[in-house]
Structure formats: C-alpha cells, structure tokens
Chain A
Amino acid sequence: MPASPVIVALELGTAKVIALVGEMREDGHIMITGMGEQPSRGISKGLVVDIDAAADATKAALAAAEESGEVTIRQVVLAVSGGHVRSDVHRGVVPVRDRSEITRHDMQSVMNVAKAVNLPTDREVLHTICQHYCIDSQQRVVMPEGMEGARLELDMLVVHGLRSPMRNTIKAVEDLMIDVQDVVYAGLASGLSVLSVEQKKGGALVIDLGAGTTEYVAYAGGVIAATGALGVGGDHVTNDIALAFGIPERQAERCKLEHGGAVIPDEAEGKVAVAPGVGFSGRTISRQSLLTVVNARVDETLRMVRHRLEEDKVPPHLAAGVVLVGGGAHMPGVADLAAEVFGMPCATGRPRDVSGLATATEGPEYATCTGLIQYACRKWQNRRRGPALTGLFKNILKR
C-alpha cells in the first residue's frame, strides 16, 4: 500500500481549534507529524457566532501546525458539528431489471432512490451511508450483486444538518484562503478513529463529549445504525456551576476540572475552595452540591443520547459497549455514569492505529481529528483503486 499524501485535519471546536498534520504509511498506520492547538473564539455550542474571531483562532492553530509539521498548509479536511445534526434511515426500493440476477446497475439505481431524500430547505445532506440491502424478504444482504430476486431494497443512513451554520464553519476557514477539500461530520470521524472492526461488528456506541456539543454514533452489525448531536456539552456543566454558586465562569471552569465528577460518592463531604479572581473574593462551596450540579447535567445529557437512540430504534444492547471520547471523557466517574445509564460496559476511547506526536495519539479529545485523517487517507486509497460502488462511507466506516 503506497503512502498517502500529507493530510491536514481541522476541527473548529467550541473549546479548542485543533489542526493535525498526518499521513498514512505503507502499512496502513497513521503517522501524526504535526499539530497546532488554539483556544477557540467566536464559537458557541459548536456553531460559529463570530466569524472573524473564529478565523483568527483557526489561523493561529494552522500556523502552529505548519511550524510543528514543517509543512505549508493549503487545504484541510474539516470537521463540522452542532446540535442540529441528525440522521435518518431512508429505504429505497426498486424492481430488479433482469428478473433473475441483480446487477451493478440495479444496485446503483436503488442507491439513487434511497439517496433522493426530501429535506427541509434549510437542511443539507452531509453523508449518505449504505447500511444493508434486502432482496425480496431476505434481510441484511451485504453484497447483492449476482444474487437472484425480484425486488431490491437498500437502507441508507442520511446524515444531515442545518445549512447555514455548516456553511459558516467552512467560510471561517475559506476566509483564510485555505481550501476545504472535504467536510466530515465530527461524530462519524470520532467513531472512525476509536473503534476496531470487531467493535463495529459487535455493536458499539461512541459518545464525543465536547465543550459545546455532544455527538454520538452507534454501530450495530458492522454498519452505522444512527448518529447525531445534541447542543449541550462541557460548557453547560461550567455554566451550571457558575449559576448554582454565583461564581465567575473562569472559576467555575477550574472548579469543574479540579473537583468535578459525574457521580456522587457516598463520602462526598467537605468543601471545595474557589480561588479569588477579578471582582470575586473567593468562597468555598460544598463538594456534595458541586457534584450534584455536575451529575445532574451529565446524567441528563447521556439520557438524552439514550433517548435519541431509542427513537432511532438502535438495539438496546451493543456488545462492545460505550466508548467515550472528547474532552469530557476525562471527567472522573463519567464512564461509570454512562455504564449505568446505558446498561453496558463503558470505556474511554483512544485513537487507534496512530503514532507520532504523543499528545495527539493518546488523548480522547483528538479522536475527531485523527478520525479525519483516517477518513481522508482511506478516501484517497479508494480513489486510487477506482470508483467505489457503494459510496465512500460504506467502505471506510465498515472497516
């Protein structure tokens, strides 16, 4: 397998803008050669609210990545997110043309039918992902070509989001004269980065606990069963703490990072000191109350994800359990809480098959960006092999 060209992944997160430089080696391994990171500005709940500020932060992150990776960045693969992203399954049905054997032509036409979705005018399709085919009454056929049947059906997962917020994210990058070569939904990239083939086959749920948004992607039987996002994240935890105890946001954030936790242990007694700051003389708050506030929010967020999955009819038990990524995965107790909410084992995810810069390959908060690089590398390989029949995501996300 030849090495891929250098790929730059960019994520405009609510807390941080991250740019990773990497490439795929001959053995299929991803090597991260450079990275740049910058606190975000002008982004709230995953959406660009001040395009100039967002572009400035992006510029700084890209500049740092250029320096550390010793490259000149002209184009990037961009992650988009936001609480507006949802997925639906659309079923396309076509009669088989030549009554006996299903041909590539039939597969193509059923795909076109399934792809033709009617979205509200303010929404745009991000990805169309093939789930499985059905021939007559035979469910879950992986490769129908050459099989016999009268009717061919295809379940297609359509990932879509609101047009203008996604366009604004792209625009913030393009304003810097950087070419956006591909746009990938952040939730899918995270799943791509942390799950193994076995986990996807057994079924797994990846939850990306970001600062502004919480993305999820559920795999069942080797295909993506559902994905989407909620417009709540770690910033909400901070905000809840600030409002609950009447302390400034900066102190609330520190309190969350140093003393926060998703579960309330029985011996959660004692007090937590909040350091003084500008216009704030400091105080102490009860540890029990702090954990109560944090637990309420995280618990609610996870339950909303569970509710979404129930709505999308994802099987309630996924053998490989829950995998947490994103900055929120660092919170003590969050895996225990998720295990309780979903009734499945839960672990923190790390980017797989990645080496190079230690920070970028180990932290759950880099899952999205490493996933972007994997996505782009695989796409590049597929192109070299010739046009993929069933669309990019089938090939990539199933592996």
Chain B
Amino acid sequence: MESNDILIVGVGGAGGRIVQGLVGLVPEPLRTAMIDTDADALAASGCVSKLQIGSHLAHGKGTGGDAGLGRRAAGEDSEMIRGLLTDTRMVLVVAGLGGGTGSSVAVEVLKAAGLADIPTLCFATLPFQFESKGRAELARGAVPEIREATDGLILVPNDKLFKSTGKEAVSEAFPKAEASLGMCVLAVWKLLTKPGYLNATASDLAQVAKPERGIAGLAWAEVRGRRRGQSAAKQLLAHPMLEGGAALADCKSVLVSVVAGEDLTLKDLGDIMTPIKAACGEDTDVTIGTSIDPEWKSHLLLTVIAARPGGWSGVAASRPVVEQPTSDEPPPLVENPNPTGRTGVQTIMQLEPAGRGRFEDTDPTLQNGEDLDIPTYQRRGIKL
C-alpha cells in the first residue's frame, strides 16, 4: 500500500492531537485528517485535512461531553465525512473515548468507511481512572458500537499506555499517553506502507483485531543503541498492558511488529521473538511483521497487538475477585464479595463480565449497543 492510500483520521480533541503528533515523525507526507466540533482545536492542528462538523449545532465550541450532539453533528455533515474518504484504501481512526465528539463521531466515520467498503482499524483510548465517572461511562457505552462498525478495534486505557512513575503532572500524563498511542499508530502505518522481508498485511492486522477475537490491546517499546532486540523485548514485556508478560498467555492471536533500520539482524529478531513466544500460550497464533526504514539506523520500535478473549485488565476485567482470608480464623459467612474492603479489580470498566448467567445461551438483548442481559450494576459500574 502506498502512503497515500491510508488515511489516518483523528476524531475529537484527543484523537486530533494524537494524529497531529504523527505529522513530522516521518519524512514522507502522511495523509492525516482531523474531525472535530471544536473550531479552536482544529485551527491549532497541523493535519492535512480538517473538518469542522456540526457548526450549526455546536457553533464551533465543542460538544461539552454531549455524545448525542456529536452524533447529530456527524449526521449533519455526513456528506463531508464521506468526501474525506475518497481514494482511500484503508482508514485508521484514532479517538480518545470519553468526550462528546470522540465517543460518538468515531462510530460515524467507521460506518461511512464501512459503507464505502474501505477496511478500517480503530485505535481508541479509555479515560484515565482519575477522570470523571461520566466520561468513563460514555467511553464504555461507545465501545460496543465501535466494535460493530470497525474491522478491528484496538482499545487501551490511558492508564496503561505508558509505565507511570506515579509522579507525572496531569499536564504530562495526557501528552505522554497520546504520544504513546501515536507511536503505535505509526508502527501500524509503517507496517502497511513499508513492509520488510517479513510481511504483515492489512488482513493480518484485521485478523488480530477483529471484534470476534476478543478485545485487542497493544503494547510497545522503543529502543536505540546496541543489543536492541533483548532490551526491546524486555521493555515490551514490562509494559503495563501486558502485566509482566502474563497477559500474553491467554491471548488468541498476537501480531508483533518491528520497525527498524537496515541494520536489523536475525539475532535481533530472535532476541525479540524468543521471550515473546515464551510468554504466549501454546495455542497462541503469533505473526511477525517487519518494516525496514533506512532512516531508523540503530533505532527499533517494537509493538504488539494482541487479541485477548477475556479482555484486558482495565478494559474488561473479570468479576470482582473474592479475597481469600489469610488468617487461620474460620472464614466469615461472606455477605460482601470484598470482606477486606479492598476495591475489586477495576469494576468500573467491565466490558465483558464473567457471564450473562441464565441468558448465556440466548441472543443478546441489545439496546443502543448495550447487552441488557449483562447485569445493570455491572454495566453501570456500581460497586456493591
């Protein structure tokens, strides 16, 4: 695929900033676009195409977290969105979920691409834990719809995008998360446009990220200098998303992509793949793709996109874990799933909870993309 065939669309404030961050990272011209309701954010963006939607509805002021407004805005200017997609062979949509525009307009863009038979891949982030509950709910509500509309969804909570030291200022945390996702988008873009000897194609990507396989997550590591392979693999497995590599064990399929210069050696690849394969389960289907760029001498970007059927911690945790009493006292008759008072594992972000109980074998009762058979308290993130 030529670089011109791939359109990278940033939707909403965060999506726009991430895509904007890609401009200038590579020498060749990227086909980037930003879609937003906020005129000021668009004005500040360096994307190739900028689309202000809903100017009559939002008056260029953003949606203020109103996803309905975002959707109406996209509907009003659907013609313009479709126009943006002409002469495109693949669309990468980047959105930060939780805001009014990102959460709603991303779906509309994906749908428009779907109607035009253009394959899509969507990179979406979930809000930080410290952000408001409303944002978390909005983001969670948007995910099922996006999964429906795209060929592949890669979903990462902002908290997991980079290894936090816990000391970052808020003003650092957002740019850091955004830059991290940007690297991953870039890695995919490179994989598609600058294939090395080991090819991973768009269909490989779609295979890993397709919604039926579970929720795809990603992790990345960037290294420079000597012994790149070893340190990249080590860094990657330490990535917060992979839980020290343990998360890979139950992944169905894993796509490893390596972007490096012409000095990439077979040993480097071996150093990368051996620990990753060791961390994966026996049935995991591991694909590798390389992209060689002469400009990347002694520089290596390693990304992993993996589909985990059970979901990721922070994306779709299992049911709250019952703490085992450690003392020798007889266990109390448990009246609360969390007798120690410790909060369960990210109950707020449960997208695919442990089960639908008696409705396990029935068709889901879908309403606005929500499966109503899943207990309400779980979907609403109510702690018991």
Contact = CB atoms under 8 A, between A and B. Distances in A.
A235 B365 contact: no
Nearest to B358: A239
A312 interface: no
Contact of B333 (A83, A240, A283): A283
A44 interface: yes
B327 interface: no
Contacts of A239: 356-359, 373, 375
B372 interface: yes
Interface in A273-321: 283-286, 289, 292-293, 296-297, 299-300, 304
A236 B372 contact: yes
B376 A240 contact: yes
A350 interface: no
Contacts, number: 79
B334 A283 contact: yes
Interface stretch (A19-27, A202-210, A242-250): A242-250
A130 to B, nearest CB: 30
A212 to B, nearest CB: 10
Interface string A113-125: 0000000000000
B362 A45 contact: yes
A232 interface: yes
Q: Which interface class (under 10, 10 to 19, 20 to 34, 35 or more) fits B?
A: 20 to 34
A260 interface: no
A283 B339 CA distance: 14
A231 interface: yes
B355 interface: yes
In this complex, the member of B333, B335, B372 whose beta carbon has the largest number of chain A beta carbons within 10 angstroms is: B335
Interface string A252-286: 00000000000000000001000000000001111
Contacts of B354: 243
A390 B17 CA distance: 61
In this complex, the member of B334, B355, B357 whose beta carbon has the largest number of chain A beta carbons within 10 angstroms is: B357
Contacts of B356: 239
Contacts of B367: 230, 304
Nearest to A281: B333
A296 B380 contact: yes
Contact of A236 (B337, B373, B382): B373
Contacts of B333: 283-284
A49 interface: yes
B165 interface: no
A286 B376 contact: no
In this complex, the member of A243, A245, A284, A286 whose beta carbon has the largest number of chain B beta carbons within 10 angstroms is: A243
B20 to A, nearest CB: 37
Nearest to A287: B335
20 contacts: A44-B362, A45-B359, A45-B362, A49-B362, A230-B365, A239-B373, A240-B377, A243-B353, A246-B337, A283-B334, A284-B335, A285-B335, A286-B335, A289-B384, A293-B377, A293-B384, A296-B376, A296-B382, A297-B376, A300-B380
Interface of B: 319, 333-337, 353-359, 362, 365, 367, 372-373, 375-378, 380, 382, 384
